[in-house]
């Protein structure tokens, strides 16, 4: 399964979701598919986008609004302990997707540590996550969509191909503080919350 095709299937169902993406391939591919500037593309802190999303999910003004984390397996493996934290909460509105290609794609597909058959869903279950699934094809993705879109916490591993060459789609043409303000202003408009004060900070 190609990550681009996988995201093309997923993206039309994201209109209700608040989306947080880890840096690297997940962010770049999501941007390529959606051109969404309502997504928070974390440009650093590799491994902590899922923690950031947990903070969003736990404090959403409407706790039924879905929060999606688009994580990478390289990122997740830098912060495996966060699965224990996430498992301790498992908010109903949080959907954690792990784009698993077993390699560092943006640097040329160099393999990650571990075995090709490392079972990320089993790792999540071992951490205490109740509901974890693995999707290996677009057909499985289509079949899983109702479960993905239903209320309730879900940890979903998306097994995608590792390409033999660097794959670096054009990244978002904004970064840093602009990323903060685009996402924060979107949250204010959509949910009526006050992220920034009267003086704009």
Nearer to another protein among residue 80 and residue 150 (C-beta): 80
Q: How far is the CB of 179 from another protein (least distance, A)?
A: 6
Task: Provide the 10 A C-beta neighbour count for residue 171.
Answer: 16
Nearer to another protein among residue 14 and residue 57 (C-beta): 57
Residue 83 contacts residue 127 (beta carbons within 8 Å): yes
Nearer to another protein among residue 84 and residue 122 (C-beta): 84
Q: For residues 33-70, b (16+ Cβ closer than 10 Å) or e, as one string?
A: bbebbbbbbbbeebbbbbbebbebbeebeeeeebbbbb
Nearer to another protein among residue 31 and residue 48 (C-beta): 48
Point out which residues bind another protein (CB under 8 A). 20, 40, 42-46, 48-49, 51-61, 79, 81-82, 84-85, 88-89, 175-177, 179-180, 183-184, 187-188, 191, 193-195, 197, 201
In the chain, the N- to C-terminal Cα span, in Å, equals: 42
Q: How far is the CB of 168 from another protein (least distance, A)?
A: 19
């Amino acid at each position: 399964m190609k990550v681009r095709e996988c995201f093309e299937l997923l993206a039309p169902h994201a209109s209700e979701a608040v989306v947080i993406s880890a840096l690297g391939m997940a962010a770049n591919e999501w941007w390529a598919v959606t051109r969404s500037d309502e997504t928070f593309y974390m440009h650093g802190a590799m491994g902590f986008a899922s923690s950031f999303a947990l903070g969003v999910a736990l404090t959403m003004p409407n706790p039924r609004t879905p929060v999606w984390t688009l994580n990478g397996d390289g990122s997740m493996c830098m912060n495996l302990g966060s699965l224990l934290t996430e498992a301790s909460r498992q908010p109903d509105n949080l959907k954690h997707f792990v784009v698993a290609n077993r390699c560092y794609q943006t640097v040329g597909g160099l393999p990650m540590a571990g075995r090709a058959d490392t079972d990320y869903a089993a790792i999540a279950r071992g951490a205490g996550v109740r509901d974890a699934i693995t999707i290996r094809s677009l057909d499985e993705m289509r079949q899983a969509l109702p479960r993905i879109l239903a209320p309730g916490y879900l940890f979903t591993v998306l097994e995608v191909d590792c390409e033999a060459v660097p794959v670096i789609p054009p990244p978002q043409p904004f970064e840093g503080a602009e990323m903060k303000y685009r996402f924060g202003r979107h949250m204010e408009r959509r949910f009526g919350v006050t992220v920034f004060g009267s003086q704009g900070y």
